[in-house]
């Protein structure tokens, strides 16, 4: 992968001038390369990783990882079914995977009931879906290469003798 892309993947806030210094390139060339990557769809979006554990609120969403077993369609394979699944607004991510299941679908909802309703009423009753296994995300330790550290107060009482 291109050095510019590697740098931006680690920290999208890195300015073109900084990238130019790191790669020993001209800043104008770096800016031009970034614009080209954006235009070609290589760079799709710039993302911020947020530790939601630190900003817990009543409207916090529930996230579930759902393994989906499907029957591929003739001449279309998994792609058409995956497209139907990832078109639902509840679906945050959808991956074709190896192993016992075919797709890994990441679903977000207001609470456990909205996610389970999605699985029961929309996903598992779809034609070509043979079965699902739902795993609710309880706690994140690391996301997109970033360790999510929680601020923990020392609740132990200091004892001295």
Would residue 54 count as lying in a domain?
no
Domain that holds residue 17: 3-40
**Residue 150: pLDDT band by 50, 70, 90 thresholds?**
low
In sequence order, the β-bridge partners of residue 120 are none
Note whether 35 and 65 are same-domain residues.
Answer: no
pLDDT at 144 (0 to 100) = 80
CATH of the domain at 94: 3.30.70.920
> How far apart (Å, rounded) are the C-alpha atoms in residues 106 and 94?
6
Q: Per-residue pLDDT tens for 4-49?
A: 999 999 899 999 999 999 999 999 999 999 999 999 999 999 988 7
Q: 32 and 71 in one domain?
A: no
One domain, residues 34 and 83: no
Q: Is residue 68 located within the same domain as residue 120?
A: yes
Q: 126 and 74 in one domain? A: yes
Report yes or no on 95 lying in a domain. Answer: yes
Q: Does some domain include residue 56?
A: no
The pLDDT value recorded for residue 100 is 95
Query: Both 127 and 79 in a single domain?
Result: yes
Domains contained in the chain, number: 2
User: Based on the domain organization, do 69 and 134 belong to the same domain?
Assistant: yes
Instruction: Read off the pLDDT of residues 54-110 as tens digits, 9 standing for 90 and up.
Output: 776 666 789 999 999 999 888 888 999 999 999 999 999 999 999 999 999 999 999
Same domain for 87 and 35?
no
In this prediction, residue 154 carries a pLDDT of: 65
Whether 80 and 35 map to the same domain: the answer is no
pLDDT of residue 14: 93
Q: Is residue 148 one of the residues assigned to a domain?
A: no
Are residues 13 and 82 part of one domain? no
Burial of residue 44 (CB within 10 Å: 0-12, 13-18, 19+) is: exposed
């Amino acid at each position: 992968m291109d050095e510019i892309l590697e740098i931006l993947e680690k920290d999208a806030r890195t300015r073109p001038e900084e990238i130019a210094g790191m790669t020993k390139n001209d800043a104008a060339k770096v800016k031009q390369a970034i614009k080209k990557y954006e235009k070609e769809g290589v760079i799709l979006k710039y993302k911020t990783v947020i530790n939601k554990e630190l900003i817990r609120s009543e409207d916090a969403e529930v996230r579930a990882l759902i393994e989906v077993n499907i029957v591929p369609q003739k001449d279309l394979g998994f792609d058409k079914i995956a497209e139907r699944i990832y078109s639902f607004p509840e679906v945050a991510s959808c991956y074709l995977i190896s192993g016992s299941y075919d797709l890994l679908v990441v679903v977000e909802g207001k609470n456990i009931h909205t996610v389970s309703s999605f699985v029961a009423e929309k996903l598992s009753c779809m034609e070509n879906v043979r079965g699902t296994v739902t795993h609710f995300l309880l706690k994140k330790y690391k996301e997109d290469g970033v360790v999510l550290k929680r601020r923990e107060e020392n609740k132990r009482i200091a004892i001295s003798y």
